[in-house]
């Protein structure tokens, strides 16, 4: 008899692999909490994508809109003020091309000008004898100092009085405000998702405390510290939250890759796949996901685990204050 | 007779097997196993016999001075200063007694006298609402929450309703205090296995409480209470679910533990048991101490 018991004990059959003294495997089930955390993680991944996407969009807009400057030169065929031998159009183009901070300058041709006017004047735009200004399109260098455009505008106005330089500054500012607002909304969504995750874990932990109240009182009476009891709950909540985080991040990955693939054409020419075939194409899609998201996605299960651990610890320790 | 009982008869704790640490010593460093027990041999409750006046003996394991316990709202309207109406009930009032290290007390009294409440106080499961309670030299009223768990680990408690964890096996229930105390698993397996053999449950180590009879559950509860070698053992009707033979075996264990230095307070309604094992008693009625000795 004793030998049988000794054998059973030695074989470790009497103690489960993970000793569950408080019965938390049933009190904190492995379905609802991981699913809820998975849903929160999925939403958090989308919110993170919003943060990263809004930042990229803002940078892209600012680069594009801020770089293009339109210069209108009235009476383009008349001689320039500072060099009578040249037309005003040629002189403005020449000055713009030579100016510091300007990447390129090009005078639009008559056909291009007619294309721009066609929406307003119709197909007769080229035959109408209206006094049209010349239009010079500048692309500012990305590292151009802010005052470069002002200096250039003054020089152009001296060479060809009446020349109008439009820098799209108002639009750039509006786009920047819009992008920042989008980012703020995405961060706010992320915070709300985190707060809901905290609430979900806290509610689950409190339900577990209520279900295991008697066991906790017994263990407490046997000399268990708050850290011991809270550690049991926190360990379980951490594992479940991490599992939910992995599920949520895993579910979010294909969605984010799809979104990144859809947004790729707006971000410029797509890089060629590393090798031909479907595998190369899939790799190309994965590469479309911004690096910031690749870094943030693995952090989501870790963040979920941290939320599970800290929330369970706090909830249990606060509850235990009622015991002497 | 089991191995553990034989070892008890030889004056050796079953748990001393394989452990190099000497038996727990008193405040003066003297081992306690040579002290005389407080058990008498007559048929009535008697005061404790004379004992060697060592420092260990003089140390009070339990000391109450005008201790009261009040459950519910404040004792009188506005007394607590929080505006709550008067309410609640005084379950214990003006208790003053002391039990020295190695002492024994029966705790007697009719139902509702406050025996269980007093045991909860002595288990540091509640704090006194009045007076001063000292357990193992610690003032329970003033001790911080951090100080209480180590104290509770030095106090064994056998509950009337067993309080076993239903999802754990008999082995895991008995092992629980050792795991809470952070003992090595190898030592736990040896000690718990031997303890379960001693209480006659070697074949039921993997059984859950629902699969055990009331007497078997009681034996598991007793094994859990004594597995940590408590300095103070409290028992609330420990023989309530045992037959006479098992009750007698339990009393042999309790007497031997007491002889080896464990302080004990045992609440019971069993007059025959007290007659067979006379000893000093605390008599409670309506929350007041009527007799001590």
pLDDT above 70 coverage of chain B, percent: 75
B205/A8 CB distance under 8 A: yes
- Same domain for A299 and A203, yes or no, is yes
pLDDT given at position B68:
92
- Same domain for A260 and A200, yes or no, is yes
pLDDT given at position A25:
84
Q: Average of pLDDT values for B160-180?
A: 91
Is A161 a residue whose pLDDT tops 80? yes
Is B291 a residue whose pLDDT tops 90? no
pLDDT (tens digit per residue) in A167-199: 776 677 777 788 888 889 999 999 999 999 999
Confidence of residue B10 (pLDDT cuts 50, 70, 90): very low
Q: Which of A104, A138, A162 is the last residue of a domain?
A: A162
Chain B nearest-CA distance from A260, in A, is: 50
Of B145, B179, B202, the CB nearest to A1: B202
pLDDT above 90 coverage of chain A, percent: 35
B34 or B199, greater pLDDT: B199
Is B22 a residue whose pLDDT tops 50? no
B145/A226 CB distance under 8 A: yes
B208 or A273, greater pLDDT: B208
- Same domain for A195 and A294, yes or no, is yes
Mean pLDDT of chain B: 78
- Residues facing A138 on adjacent strands: A69, A105
Nearest CA in chain B to A25: B167
A21/B197 CB distance under 8 A: no
Mean pLDDT of chain A: 83
Within 8 A by CB and 6+ apart from B19, the residues are none
pLDDT given at position B1:
47
Q: Is the ipTM of this complex over 0.95?
A: no
Nearest CA in chain A to B192: A9
Q: Give the number of other Cβ atoms within 10 Å of residue B22's Cβ.
A: 9
Which of A261-270, B117-126, B250-259 holds the top average pLDDT?
B117-126
pLDDT given at position A273:
62
Q: Within an 8 Å CB–CB cutoff, is residue B123 touching chain A?
A: yes
Q: Average of pLDDT values for A261-270?
A: 69
A218/B165 CB distance under 8 A: yes
Residue A223 covered by a domain:
yes
Q: Average of pLDDT values for A241-265?
A: 89
- Same domain for A203 and A233, yes or no, is yes
Residue A67 covered by a domain:
no
Q: Average of pLDDT values for A237-253?
A: 95
As a whole number of angstroms, the distance between CA A223 and CA A323 comes to 12
A221/B152 CB distance under 8 A: yes
pLDDT (tens digit per residue) in A187-231: 999 999 999 999 999 999 999 999 999 999 999 999 999 999 999
Chain A residues within an 8 Å CB radius of B123: 221
Nearest CA in chain A to B2: A2
> What HEC string does A9-35 produce?
HHCCCCCCCCCCCCCHHHHCCCCHHHH
Confidence of residue B132 (pLDDT cuts 50, 70, 90): very high
B180/A228 CB distance under 8 A: yes
Confidence of residue A118 (pLDDT cuts 50, 70, 90): confident
- Same domain for A220 and A112, yes or no, is no
B203/A1 CB distance under 8 A: yes
Q: Within an 8 Å CB–CB cutoff, is residue B146 touching chain A?
A: yes
Residue A138 covered by a domain:
yes
Strands (E), B191-280: 232-236, 263-267
Residue A259 covered by a domain:
yes
In a mutational test of the A interface, the residue from B69, B126, B127, B152 whose CB has the highest number of chain A CBs within 10 Å is: B152
Q: Average of pLDDT values for B145-156?
A: 92
Chain A residues within an 8 Å CB radius of B163: 214, 218, 221
Spatial contact of A54 and A263, defined as CB atoms under 8 Å apart: no
Of B127, B153, B189, the CB nearest to A324: B127
In a mutational test of the A interface, the residue from B179, B198, B211 whose CB has the highest number of chain A CBs within 10 Å is: B179
A57 or A150, greater pLDDT: A150
Which of A16-20, B234-238, B254-258 holds the top average pLDDT?
B234-238
Domains in chain A, number: 2
Domain extent, residue A313, equals 20-61+173-320
Residues in chain A: 324
Buried b (16+ CB within 10 A) or exposed e, B25-64: ebeeeeebbebebbbbeeeebbebeebeebebbebbbbbb
- Residues facing B281 on adjacent strands: B106
Q: Average of pLDDT values for A3-15?
A: 48
Residue A7 covered by a domain:
no
B219 or A142, greater pLDDT: B219
Which of A193-197, B3-7, B8-12, B254-258 holds the top average pLDDT?
A193-197
Of A2, A14, A321, the CB nearest to B206: A14
Nearest CA in chain A to B167: A23
- Same domain for A47 and A138, yes or no, is no
pLDDT given at position B53:
43
Is B48 a residue whose pLDDT tops 60? no
Q: Which of A112, A132, A162 is the last residue of a domain?
A: A162
Q: Give the number of other Cβ atoms within 10 Å of residue B110's Cβ.
A: 11
For the record, the structure tokens of A154 come out as: 């003054």
Confidence of residue A17 (pLDDT cuts 50, 70, 90): low
Chain A nearest-CA distance from B189, in A, is: 7
pLDDT given at position B31:
39
Chain A residues within an 8 Å CB radius of B224: 222
pLDDT (tens digit per residue) in B232-242: 999 998 887 77
* Chain B (220-279) residues lying within 8 Å, Cβ to Cβ, of chain A: 224
Of A2, A22, A224, the CB nearest to B197: A2
- Same domain for A205 and A284, yes or no, is yes
pLDDT given at position B4:
46
Is B37 a residue whose pLDDT tops 50? no
Residue A11 covered by a domain:
no
- Same domain for A182 and A278, yes or no, is yes
**B76: DSSP letter:** S
Chain B residues within an 8 Å CB radius of A4: 202-203
Is B44 a residue whose pLDDT tops 50? no
Confidence of residue A125 (pLDDT cuts 50, 70, 90): low
Q: Average of pLDDT values for B122-135?
A: 93
Is B80 a residue whose pLDDT tops 80? no
pLDDT given at position B153:
92
Chain A nearest-CA distance from B184, in A, is: 14
A–B CB contacts, 8 A cutoff, strictly below:
86
Helices A213-221 & A169-211 angle (0-180, nearest 10) = 70
pLDDT given at position A274:
62
Is B8 a residue whose pLDDT tops 80? no
B149/A223 CB distance under 8 A: yes
- Same domain for A216 and A307, yes or no, is yes
pLDDT given at position A205:
94
**Which range is least confidently modeled, A44-58, A95-109, A117-131, A245-259?**
A117-131
- Same domain for A138 and A284, yes or no, is no
pLDDT given at position A187:
92
Residue A12 covered by a domain:
no
Of A232, A238, A204, A203, residue with least CA distance to A23 = A232
Q: Which of A118, A134, A162 is the last residue of a domain?
A: A162
Confidence of residue A10 (pLDDT cuts 50, 70, 90): very low
- Same domain for A178 and A302, yes or no, is yes
pLDDT given at position A203:
95
* Chain B (172-201) residues lying within 8 Å, Cβ to Cβ, of chain A: 172, 175-177, 179-181, 185, 189, 192-193, 196-197
Residue A15 covered by a domain:
no
- Residues facing B263 on adjacent strands: B232
Of B33, B42, B39, B92, residue with least CA distance to B67 = B92
Q: Average of pLDDT values for B218-237?
A: 90
Buried b (16+ CB within 10 A) or exposed e, B145-164: eeebbebbbbbbbbbbebbb
- Same domain for A186 and A156, yes or no, is no
pLDDT given at position A192:
95
- The helix (H) or strand (E) run that includes residue A231 is helix A226-263
């Amino acid at each position: 008899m004793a030998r049988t018991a000794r054998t059973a004990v030695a074989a470790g059959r009497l103690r489960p692999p993970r000793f569950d003294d408080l019965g938390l495997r049933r009190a904190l089930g492995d379905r609802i909490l991981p699913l809820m955390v998975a849903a929160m993680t999925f939403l958090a991944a989308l919110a993170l994508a919003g943060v990263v996407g809004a930042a990229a969009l803002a940078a892209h807009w600012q680069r594009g809109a801020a770089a293009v400057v339109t210069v209108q030169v009235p009476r383009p065929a008349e001689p320039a003020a500072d060099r009578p031998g040249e037309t005003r159009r040629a002189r403005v183009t020449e000055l713009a091309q030579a100016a510091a901070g300007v990447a390129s300058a090009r005078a639009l041709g008559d056909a291009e000008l007619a294309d721009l006017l066609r929406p307003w004047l119709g197909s007769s735009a080229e035959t109408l004898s209206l006094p049209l200004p010349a239009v010079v399109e500048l692309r500012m260098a990305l590292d151009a100092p802010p005052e470069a455009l002002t200096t250039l505008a003054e020089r152009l106005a001296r060479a060809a009085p009446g020349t109008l330089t439009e820098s799209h500054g108002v639009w750039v500012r509006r786009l920047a405000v819009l992008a920042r607002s989008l980012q703020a909304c995405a961060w706010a969504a992320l915070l709300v998702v985190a707060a809901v995750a905290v609430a979900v874990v806290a509610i689950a932990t409190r339900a577990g405390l209520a279900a295991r109240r008697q066991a906790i009182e017994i263990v407490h009476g046997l000399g268990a510290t708050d850290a011991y009891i809270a550690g049991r709950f926190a360990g379980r909540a951490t594992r479940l939250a991490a599992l939910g985080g992995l599920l949520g991040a895993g579910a979010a990955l294909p969605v984010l890759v799809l979104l990144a693939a859809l947004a790729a054409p707006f971000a410029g020419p797509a890089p060629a796949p590393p090798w031909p075939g479907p595998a190369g194409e899939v790799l190309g899609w994965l590469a479309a996901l911004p690096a910031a998201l690749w870094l943030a996605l693995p952090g989501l299960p870790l963040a979920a685990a941290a939320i599970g651990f800290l929330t369970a610890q706090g909830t249990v320790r606060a509850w235990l204050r009622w015991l002497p | 007779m089991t191995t553990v009982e034989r070892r008890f008869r030889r004056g050796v704790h079953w748990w001393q097997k394989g452990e190099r640490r000497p038996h727990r010593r008193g405040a003066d460093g003297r081992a306690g196993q040579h002290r005389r027990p407080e058990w008498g041999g007559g048929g009535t409750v008697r005061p404790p016999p004379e004992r060697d006046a060592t420092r260990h003996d003089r140390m009070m394991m339990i000391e109450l001075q005008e201790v009261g316990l009040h459950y519910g709202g404040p004792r009188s309207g506005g007394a607590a200063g929080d505006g709550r109406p008067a309410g609640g009930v005084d379950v214990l009032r003006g208790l003053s007694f002391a039990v020295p290290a190695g002492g024994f007390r029966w705790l007697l009294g009719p139902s509702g006298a406050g025996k269980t409440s007093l045991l909860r106080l002595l288990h540091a499961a509640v704090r006194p609402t009045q007076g001063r309670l000292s357990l193992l030299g610690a003032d329970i009223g003033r001790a911080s929450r951090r100080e209480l768990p180590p104290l509770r680990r030095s106090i064994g408690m056998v509950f009337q309703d067993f309080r076993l964890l239903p999802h754990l096996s008999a082995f895991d229930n008995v092992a629980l205090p050792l795991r809470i105390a952070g003992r090595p698993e190898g030592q736990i397996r040896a000690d718990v296995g031997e303890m379960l053999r001693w209480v006659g449950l070697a074949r039921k180590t993997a059984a859950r409480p629902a699969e055990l009879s009331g007497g078997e559950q009681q034996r598991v509860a007793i094994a859990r209470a004594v597995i940590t070698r408590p300095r103070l053992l409290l028992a609330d009707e420990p023989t309530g679910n045992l037959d006479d033979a098992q009750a007698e075996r339990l009393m042999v264990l309790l007497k031997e533990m007491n002889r080896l230095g464990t302080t004990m307070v045992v609440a019971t309604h069993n007059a025959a048991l007290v007659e067979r094992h006379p000893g000093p008693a605390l008599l409670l009625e309506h929350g007041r101490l009527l007799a001590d000795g």
